[in-house]
Chain A
Amino acid sequence: MTDIAISHLDELEAESIHIMREVAAEFERPVLLFSGGKDSAVMLRIAEKAFWPARIPFPLMHVDTGHNFDEVIDYRDRRAAELGVDLVVASVQASIDSGRVTEDKGPKATRNRLQSVTLLDAIEEHGFDSVFGGGRRDEDKARAKERVYSFRDEFGQWDPKNQRPELWSLYNGRHKQGEHIRVFPISNWTEMDVWQYIARESVELPSIYYAHRRQVLRRDGMLIALTDFVTPLPDEEVEELLVRFRTVGDATCTGAVESPAATPDEVIVEVAASRITERGATRADDKFADAAMEDRKKEGYF
């Protein structure tokens, strides 16, 4: 009996595996950006599948703002060790210390935007010619127009008006010395697909993705975790709530949502009923301007 119907997750997974194998075959030095977030966790599972039973044939890299959740860092290090792959940590703190970037001042300052410089420096230092990112086109209007293979010039810049046409499943990875390609293998996945896949494949995530009690404060309409890097302003009240995170990034600008969802299936129910996008709900950095993401991407952001 032939099972003709192919589920959307199978089709998305097969497409992502194909992309990863193309990159492994055609580039000298790929690297996979692994933040410990759910999208990078899914990417990592796809990489495992693409090359099984061999090891993943490229290292992982984390651009570390220094403002981390401990659970995420533990998870990151453990996964890399379990898979036996190298982990490169590119430190934003080091970029600040060396004067490559200047940190914003004030209680609401975030290092999210500084990551671009650290990332580009690390790409250059290690000679990476292709960089897997977990970006999805459903996240943002600018991302919706980005290719799976996204060409970056020698300054790491994205030129949205001059992208290579991308047809069928034929990807053009040709580039010159100093240029590189950002590759987005899960471009066509939505937040819902990611969660359905996590549930189906039992992909482990950092515990902060599920409901837990945490001290938070309300800032700009979001719940920001009280950490060593966040100081409450005089009018901000700290409360302990049952929360989970929908994305994981710099602890100073990643918001939590109130939620009792403790399993992937419970999260799926919440995602299905959600009326606010994941970035809108939980990323202060995208609220600057209508074109915030486009501007950051041009500078070399993920």
Chain B
Amino acid sequence: MELLRFATAGSVDDGKSTLIGRLLLDSKQIFEDQLVAVERTSRDKGFDYTNLALLTDGLRAEREQGITIDVAYRYFATPTRKFIIADTPGHVQYTRNMVTGASTADLALILIDARKGVVEQSRRHSVIASLLQVRHLVLCVNKMDLVDYEQSVFDRITSEFSEWAGKLDITDLAFIPVSALHGDNVTQHSPNLTWYGGPTLLHHLEHLYIGSDRNLIDARFPVQWVVRPMSDKWHDYRGYAGKVAGGIFRPGDEVLVLPSGLISTISSIDLYGGSVHEAMPPNSVTIRLADDIDISRGDMLCRPQNAPTVTQELDAMICWFNEKPLQEKGKYALKHTTRSVRAMVRDLHYCLDVNTLHRDETTGTLMMNDMGRVSLRVTAPLFVDEYRRNRTTGSFILIDEGTNETVGAGMILGTGD
């Protein structure tokens, strides 16, 4: 069974929680005790229907305010796939949550209220999905029941959104008309939408092809940990543990070790009790080499003829998360793969308006939830790829050295020269 991770986003009241509640309920993931609790709360609050949104609003403050304030992860499975949903709030001030949810997603699901059409938040969410390189985008036009299931409404929204999406880096875009409240087209085809010939939302999620989304070309293996048992049985064992970040590794392959530049051959790829004949994303394995080379955490194995860029200069798109704004010339701790360094912001080129794609080049700071392009200089070389090419070797986080908070996330655009 394959795993599909998707992020959902939507504005307040566009029915996102209801849609997720519906997906969980119709795929039989909601248990009786959960449903009973929700029915009881719905009655207490005076609703005349069971408010499925209550299934997902987890924190006390959220229930009190009737909004979702943090990324929540949900799980469901059908006979064909297991799904992990990163359910992210839609309000302006929580863009950081959408970025967080999108960072690991294969697919982004954006909700649009059929009555309101494409609004600022729909555009913002699609821009974020595109910047985070989420490969697949699904636009659910919800509340079709409130526009009498009119095809013209759906057609107008799809054409307007398609035009906008043309400016973005999105390869796969699907549109699905639904009513989350009534369950139309969520897991079952709806008699109210006979003009729509496409799949239901669930069918689309189950059958979308994600096999080629992984990078199986560029071999990248950041070393996390050196395995040295120092026991009688494994006296001379020395293996490099990590999670494959790209490409396929096999015993016998020649590898280049960064930063030393030494070349060796893979003698064995081990996994608990034995060896395997190959390793690729997302496998976690332990690699042994034929030669005795000094390798430690933070080093990277790649191929002599296909190596990442070794650099101390980064050109990156940053999303800022903290109330204390990003400052030009500011210094931060930076974590990239298994390497931790310090970084200085050399230049803030522009702040990107994620609603209009306008670039504001006059700004000197990035405020919370802003995105912008920066040049950074780091204290030690990093082994990087463009984020478009590799989400693992192309991403990093920035940490405030005083408070230890994660204050920013970066996607590498190049090696700034």
Contact = CB atoms under 8 A, between A and B. Distances in A.
A276 B32 contact: yes
Contacts of A192: 77
A21 B234 contact: no
Nearest to B228: A54
Given A25-B224, A165-B406, A167-B103, A7 B70 contact: no
Interface string B65-97: 000011111110100011010000000000011
Contacts of B97: 165
A167 B398 CA distance: 11
B397 A294 contact: no
Contacts of A276: 31-33
A2 B34 contact: no
B248 interface: yes
Contact of B2 (A5, A55, A163, A281): A5
Contacts of B211: 4-5
B72 A145 contact: yes
Contacts of B297: 25
Contact of A53 (B233, B280, B409): B233
Given A160-B59, A294-B58, A165 B227 contact: no
Nearest to A18: B243
B192 interface: no
B130 to A, nearest CB: 16
A81 to B, nearest CB: 16
A258 B229 CA distance: 45
Interface residues of B, number: 75
A82 interface: no
- Best-buried of A14, A54, A277, A280 by chain B (most CB within 10 Å): A54
B31 A172 contact: no
Contacts of A288: none
A10 B82 CA distance: 12
B63 A168 contact: no
A8 B1 contact: yes
Given A7-B1, A165-B409, A142 B58 contact: yes
A235 interface: no
A14 B282 contact: yes
A187 B370 CA distance: 29
Contacts of B399: 172, 174
B27 interface: no
Contacts of A13: 284
Nearest to A45: B272
Given A8-B1, A168-B395, A280-B34, A144 B58 contact: yes
B271 A175 contact: no
* Chain A interface bracket (under 10, 10 to 19, 20 to 34, 35 or more): 35 or more
Contacts of A167: 99-100, 103-104, 395, 397, 406, 409
A14 B243 contact: yes
A138 B75 contact: yes
A294 B33 contact: no
Contacts of B72: 137, 141, 144-145
B406 A6 contact: no
Say what secondary structure dominates the interface of chain A. loop
A172 B335 contact: yes
Contacts of B289: none
B60 interface: yes
B23 to A, nearest CB: 14
Nearest to A7: B1
A280 B31 contact: yes
A137 B73 contact: yes
A279 to B, nearest CB: 9
A126 interface: no
Interface string B210-234: 0100001000000011011111011
B404 A141 contact: no
Contacts of B216: 2, 4
Nearest to A14: B284
Contact of A190 (B56, B77, B103, B321): B77
B32 A275 contact: yes
A188 B75 contact: yes
A190 B211 CA distance: 23
B120 interface: no
A7 B2 contact: yes
B299 interface: no
Contacts of A15: 282, 284
A164 B103 contact: no
A286 to B, nearest CB: 10
Contacts of A4: 211, 216
A294 B59 contact: yes
Contact of A25 (B73, B283, B335, B338): B338
A176 interface: yes
A274 to B, nearest CB: 7
B41 interface: yes
B147 interface: no
Interface in A159-190: 160-161, 163-170, 172, 174-176, 187-188, 190
B37 interface: yes
B328 interface: no
A11 B1 CA distance: 10
A301 to B, nearest CB: 15
A53 B2 contact: no
Nearest to B85: A144
B58 A54 contact: no
B406 A172 contact: yes
Contacts of A140: 58
Nearest to A5: B2
A174 B340 CA distance: 11
13 contacts: A8-B1, A8-B3, A14-B282, A53-B227, A137-B72, A138-B75, A142-B59, A144-B72, A164-B405, A165-B97, A167-B103, A280-B34, A290-B41
Given A168-B392, A175-B404, A275-B32, 9 more contacts: A4-B216, A12-B3, A17-B243, A53-B229, A53-B234, A145-B58, A160-B61, A161-B59, A170-B396
9 closest residue pairs by CB, A with B? A141-B58, A280-B33, A54-B229, A17-B284, A174-B404, A49-B272, A167-B103, A14-B284, A8-B3
